[in-house]
């Protein structure tokens, strides 16, 4: 089981990509997992059937800079939410990890962004959001993602390279980047992340990779670069009119953090600095947020 939480609260902001949550379990759900597994087989048919699958439930919430304004804010980031189920197929061979994730869900009011953010802000006694009526209408959405990681190094220091792409009505983009890790008993391919294809499944982790060979820890720094062709949260709905802003084609994430494993319990913290995703009328549209991951294998 894995739990991911991303929020900008520790960065003392409440705007843009303001919250993400994702829960992963090792349950069979062929409707989403089978298409992901078939794509992975076709990408490398010579590697047989050595594929593991998983299931994720997630939600992402996006808001403008000032959530107390009731009126529409056409020159700032639109209100938006994305609620989805994701079927994942994954294969590890040596220093290489391949992951395909197929996400299906809904954007708009049916994604429950208003309800979740309002309830959370009441719980922590934060500013109440007042502009959710300005989000776009509900519509179905999907995305299929591929991510490959390759690890080079030793048990104490290594570099993990990654590259991949997303295609669908949620986001269409290509991406690449690298991570430098320094620690003790390094294994796997870096900390698990909330992004599509970013998490290592239990079956893959146990696949002869020495993952349970003692406790471990490491610190890391990473960079991720994306060429974005479409983002429904900035470009607006696919099937009807809705709020939109001028999207930037290039986005960069710089991150630092640490990860540790004690027996079958894993924890990681990542601080992310994201460049502007859209052209803002209010100065810099960059933002910072933190990502927490807790995993337990049983």
pTM: 0.92
Q: What is the DSSP string of 106-129?
A: EESGGG-HHHHHHHHHHHTT-PPP
Backbone φ and ψ of 81, nearest 5°:
-150, 155
Q: What is the pLDDT of residues 116-158, one digit of tens each?
A: 999 988 988 888 999 999 999 999 999 999 999 999 999 899 9
Question: Which residues face 59 on adjacent strands?
Answer: 21, 83
Q: Which residues contact 178 (CB under 8 A, 6 or more apart)?
A: 159, 160, 161, 162, 222, 223
Q: What's the CA gap between 199 and 5, in Å, rounded?
A: 13
pLDDT band at residue 8 under the 50/70/90 scheme: confident
When pLDDT is cut at 50, 70 and 90, the band that residue 179 belongs to is: very high
pLDDT recorded at residue 43: 83
pLDDT, one tens digit per residue, over 260-298 is 999 888 999 999 999 999 987 776 678 999 999 998 765
Cα separation, 277 vs 285, in Å, equals 7
DSSP states along 189-217: TB---SSTT-S--HHHHTSSS-TTSS-EE
Mean of the per-residue pLDDT values for the chain?
90
Q: What domain range is 37 assigned to?
A: 2-296
22: pLDDT strictly greater than 90: yes
Q: Smallest Cα–Cα separation from 63: which of 122, 107, 126, 17?
A: 17
At 30, list the tokens: 């062929």
Token pair belonging to 296: 């337990």
Please state the domain count of the chain: 1
Residue 231 maps to which CATH number? 2.40.128.140
What would the two tokens of residue 107 be?
A: 């954007």
Least confident piece of the model among 66-75, 85-94, 150-159, 203-212: 203-212
């Amino acid at each position: 089981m894995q739990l991911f939480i991303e929020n900008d609260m520790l960065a003392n902001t409440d705007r843009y990509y303001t919250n993400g949550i994702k829960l992963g379990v090792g349950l069979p759900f062929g409707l989403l997992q089978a298409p992901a597994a078939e794509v992975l087989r076709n990408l490398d048919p010579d590697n047989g059937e050595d594929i593991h699958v998983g299931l994720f439930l997630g939600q992402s919430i996006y808001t403008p800079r000032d959530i107390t304004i009731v009126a529409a804010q056409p020159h700032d980031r639109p209100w938006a939410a994305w609620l989805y189920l994701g079927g994942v197929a994954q294969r590890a061979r040596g220093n290489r990890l391949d992951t395909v994730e197929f996400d299906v869900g809904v954007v708009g009011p049916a994604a429950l962004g208003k309800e979740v953010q309002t309830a959370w802000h009441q719980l922590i006694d934060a500013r109440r959001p007042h502009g959710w009526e300005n989000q776009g209408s509900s519509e179905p959405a999907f995305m299929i993602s591929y991510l490959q990681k390759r690890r080079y190094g030793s048990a104490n220091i290594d570099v993990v390279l990654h590259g991949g792409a997303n295609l669908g009505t949620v986001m269409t983009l290509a991406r690449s980047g690298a991570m430098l890790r320094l620690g003790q008993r390094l294994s796997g391919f870096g900390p698990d992340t909330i992004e599509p294809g970013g998490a290592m499944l239990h079956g893959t982790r146990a696949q002869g990779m020495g993952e349970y060979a003692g406790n471990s820890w490491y610190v890391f720094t990473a960079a991720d670069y994306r060429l974005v062709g479409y983002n429904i949260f900035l470009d607006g709905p696919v099937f009807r009119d809705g709020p939109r802003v001028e999207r930037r084609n290039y986005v960069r994430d710089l991150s630092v953090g640490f990860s540790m494993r004690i027996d079958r319990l894993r924890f990681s913290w990542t601080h992310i600095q994201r460049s502007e995703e859209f052209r803002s009328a209010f100065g810099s549209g960059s933002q910072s947020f933190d990502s927490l991951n807790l995993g337990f294998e049983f």
